[in-house]
Amino acid sequence: MNFKAFLGTIYDDLVNKKIIIEKEQPKDLDEKIDRLNAYLEKLERVSKKASEKEEYIYSLKKLYYDKYLIKEEKIPASYWHHLEQKYLDNGYGKYNLVEPKTYEDKSLREGHITQIRNEQMDSLDGWLNYLMSPDSDYLPMWAKVWAFSGMQKIGNLNDDKTEYLRRSKTAVNPFVSIDSELLGKSVEYLKAYLNGEELPADIKEHIKNKNFNQIYGYLLANKKELKIQGNEGIWIKYLRESEEEIKRKEEKNEKPNYLRLYNSLQGYNTGWCTASSKETAKSQVLDGDFYVYYTKNENSEYVIPRIAIRMEGRNIGEIKGIAKDQNLETNMEKALSIKLEEFPDKDKYLKKVRDMERLTKIYNEYQTRELTKEELRFLYEIDGKILGFGYNEDPRIKEIITGRNIKQDLSKAFNCTEDQISLTKEQALLGNVVYHYGNLDLGSLTSLKNVTFPETIGYDLILRSLTSLEGVILPKIIGSFIFIEFNA
With cut-offs at 50, 70 and 90, classify the pLDDT of residue 291: very high
Distance CA(342)–CA(347), nearest Å, equals 11
> Which pTM value belongs to this model?
0.77
Amino acid at 48: K
Residue 158: pLDDT over 90: no
Residue 467 lies in a domain: yes
Is the domain of 61 the same as that of 201? yes
Is the domain of 122 the same as that of 32? yes
Residue 349 lies in a domain: yes
| pLDDT score at 1 | 65
Residue 227 lies in a domain: no
Please give the tally of structural domains in the chain: 4
Is the domain of 309 the same as that of 367? no
| pLDDT score at 487 | 58
Is the domain of 131 the same as that of 253? no
| pLDDT score at 263 | 95
What is the tens place of the pLDDT at every residue in 71-114? 999 999 999 999 999 888 888 888 999 999 888 888 889 888 98
Which of these, 331, 5, 6, 299, lies nearest to 146 by C-alpha position?
6
Q: What are phi and psi of 110, to 5 degrees?
A: -60, -35
| pLDDT score at 70 | 94
Please compute the mean of the pLDDT values over residues 368-384 and round it to a whole number. Answer: 94
| pLDDT score at 359 | 94
Is the domain of 397 the same as that of 418? no
Residue 408: pLDDT over 70: yes
What is the tens place of the pLDDT at every residue in 294-353? 999 888 999 999 999 999 999 999 999 998 888 999 889 999 999 999 999 888 899 899
| pLDDT score at 88 | 87
Is the domain of 441 the same as that of 355? no
Is the domain of 123 the same as that of 181? yes
Residue 476: pLDDT over 60: yes
Is the domain of 382 the same as that of 434? no
From 403, 432, 450, give the residue that closes a domain.
403
Q: What is the mean pLDDT of the chain?
A: 89
Which of these, 319, 405, 331, 325, lies nearest to 363 by C-alpha position?
331
Residue 331 lies in a domain: no
Provide the 3-class DSSP secondary structure of residue 193. helix
From 380, 403, 426, give the residue that closes a domain.
403
Residue 328 lies in a domain: no
Please compute the mean of the pLDDT values over residues 274-278 and round it to a whole number. Answer: 92
Residue 337 lies in a domain: no
Whole-number percent of the chain with pLDDT over 90? 59
> Residues 6 or more apart from 75 whose CB is under 8 A from it?
113, 116, 170, 172
| pLDDT score at 444 | 64
Q: Which residues pair with 440 in a beta bridge?
A: 461
What is the tens place of the pLDDT at every residue in 411-449? 999 999 999 999 888 888 888 899 999 888 876 665 667
Measured at the CA of 19, the angle between CA 16 and CA 21, to 5 degrees, comes to 80
Is the domain of 69 the same as that of 185? yes
Is the domain of 183 the same as that of 64? yes
Is the domain of 68 the same as that of 115? yes
Distance CA(265)–CA(182), nearest Å, equals 13
Residue 252 lies in a domain: yes
Residue 166: pLDDT over 90: yes
- Integer angstrom CA distances of residue 228 from 138, 261, 291: 29, 20, 20
Is the domain of 141 the same as that of 262? no
From 221, 256, 287, give the residue that closes a domain.
221
Residue 332 lies in a domain: no
Identify the domain containing residue 300 by its residue range. Answer: 233-322
